[in-house]
Amino acid sequence: MLAGVPLIGWVIRAARDSGVFNSVWVSTDHKDIAKVAKAWGAEVHTRSPCVSKDCTSSLETIQEFSSKHPDVDVICNIQATSPCLHPEHLQKALELITKQGCDSVFSVVRRHNFRWEEVKEGGEVFTKPLNLDPACRPCRQAWAGELCENGSFYFATKDLIENGLLQGGKTSCFEMPPEYSVDIDVDIDWPVAEQRVLRFGYFGKDKPEVVKLLLCDVSGCLTDGQIYISANGDDLVSINTRDQAGINMLMKEGVKVILIEQNPITKTLAKKISQRMGCRVLQNVDILKEVEKFMKKDRLEWKEVAYLGNDEPDVKCLSRAGLSAVPRAERSTLEAPVVALNAAKYSCKCAAGRGVVREFAEHILLLRKMAKSQMEQDRICCCSDNNFMKH
């Protein structure tokens, strides 16, 4: 999870919204990755064991895909470790193939780094410059810099790939601005990427909105869906303290939280849950009608609503809500139906009753922060433009 979204989700969303591909695929031999890929709207190419080794190159996996899809003329290899990719980057890069006749196009970023080489001679080690003259060091403003691959994407024709190349023939590059050139390669890159993606990541066709209402299933989300019966006949459920903290975090930020319970638990237990969580619990209601009633009362739009559900009755709300999610399935619990997985915006890393509400709460707060940052940036830009016009 990167800033509350599966890492691969960032690039799948950008690829799908670019509108330039006939199909978007994720190549993997891992069932959990395949599940997340499908939930985000991609198709899955199941790799064979021979191209699923640690030493397997990207080219080998692409060649396998190409051999099984003879109708595909141009393939774009997008790397999930570049989460600041935007649809327009792909759109403009593809034009170099469709309009200018290139055989391959790859993404680059302009760097202004002075590079040196370590040289070993006669048992001694010394250093020599590679791209500068130390006696005449250029100023950054006067130096065009160098184009370096940023690893975001690689377009290539089918013929080129079949000849064992991702870059060749008539080749061109697409320069991405440095703020979008994020490449997660080692552990230290992760926190940096998380901050960058909040500011420069692609959040979908609509601008991120400030969520004002969270609706969450009790059974299958707040709890693991199991009801325990005591010796004296009382119903018992287990609630994770991290989930309780997540709900408190949201309410402290002004987000209203409403819990929904469809399973037949006693009113006494529902009241206890309500008191413990500090929010209302609705029992045995028509979910969609009840949600729309609350939205009308508080004058909310669907884009201001977040929904955490796990079953077929949640599908309509999952698909309409601006933010929606389902818990991760565990072997000890029933897996969320495919219709629920497909309706949700993403699949959470945590399982039901194991911190999934806290995880989703953190995601909501991150997006609220991002939305407010964007609004502040728009305000600053607007003020700057007005001042420029006055001058």
Among candidate residues 13, 47, 111, 137, the one labeled active-site is 137
Between strands 305-308 and 213-217, the pairing is: parallel
Whether 358 is catalytic = no
Please give the positions annotated as active site.
137
